[in-house]
Structure 1
Amino acid sequence: MLPLTVGLTHYVVLSALLFAIGLFGVLSKRNAVAVLICIELMLNAVNINLIAFSKYITPTLFIGQLFAVFVITVAAAEVGVGLAIIIAIYRNRLSVNLDDFDWLKW
């Protein structure tokens, strides 16, 4: 029996599936917290791509891992700011439904 090896194609397909699931969630969900989680899922798909290409294209350089650390840092800051905004809106509107956020509509 042949050993199963995981190649670059497998990582790219996994990343594309995660990104598609996150994009579907962003476009279909009405809850602000769920949309924020789906955006984080999309950022994790980007991290998988960065690390996979770094491993298979330039295995001696760690540029992909370095970029992934920066993306994780930015994602953590984005979650903190996003949740703070969602909590502030919930305190004023008592809802986190995105359909209720119509402040910029005439």
Structure 2
Amino acid sequence: MLVLNLYNCLQTYLALGALLFGLGVYGLVVHRTVIGMLISSEFILAAASTNFMAFNRFLAPDPSIGQVFTLFIMAIAAAEAAIAISIVIAVYRNYKTIDVEDLGDLQG
């Protein structure tokens, strides 16, 4: 019975969203490759989607509002991934690396 109560409280979903957000920020700081940073930013977007859906389930009078926001976040994440991968491929073709430290000559 205790397991069912964990799934029916807002704090559980907010803790999961905070964990995903923390992993995303940590990954952005630690990773040295562009692809690692891209995956970390996807964690941050997943955390935002989790929070929207949690607030939608427990607090919203209209249940479709949080779902619409989550669909927009998913569309933005897909577009971001497609654009970022194309940029990574273009950078790799020119510089033969995706390490962020080696791309210093891209600055102004």
Normalised by the size of structure 1, how large is the TM-score?
Answer: 0.93
Q: Secondary structure at the match of 2:78?
A: helix
Tell whether 2:23 aligns with 1:21. yes
Task: Give the count of matched residue pairs.
Answer: 105
Tell whether 2:90 aligns with 1:88. yes
CA distance in 1, matches of 2:90, 2:84: 10
State how 1:28-67 maps to structure 2 within 5 Å: 28-58=30-60, 60-67=62-69
Name the structure 2 match of 1:104: 107
After TM superposition, the runs of 4+ consecutive aligned structure 1 residues lying more than 6 A away are none
Q: CA deviation at 1:60?
A: 3.7
CA distance in 2, matches of 1:71, 1:99: 30
Q: Secondary structure at the match of 1:96?
A: coil
For 1:14, give the aligned amino acid. Answer: L
For 1:53, give the aligned amino acid. Answer: F
Q: 1:15 to 1:2 in 2, by over 3 A?
A: closer
For 1:27, give the aligned amino acid. Answer: V
Q: CA deviation at 1:3?
A: 5.4
Q: Secondary structure at the match of 1:58?
A: coil
Q: CA RMSD in A?
A: 1.4
Deviates more, 1:96-105 or 1:79-88: 96-105
CA distance in 2, matches of 1:66, 1:60: 11
CA distance in 1, matches of 2:20, 2:102: 28
Name the structure 2 match of 1:71: 73
Structure 2 alignment gaps of length 5 or more: none
Q: CA deviation at 1:101?
A: 1.3
Identity %: 36
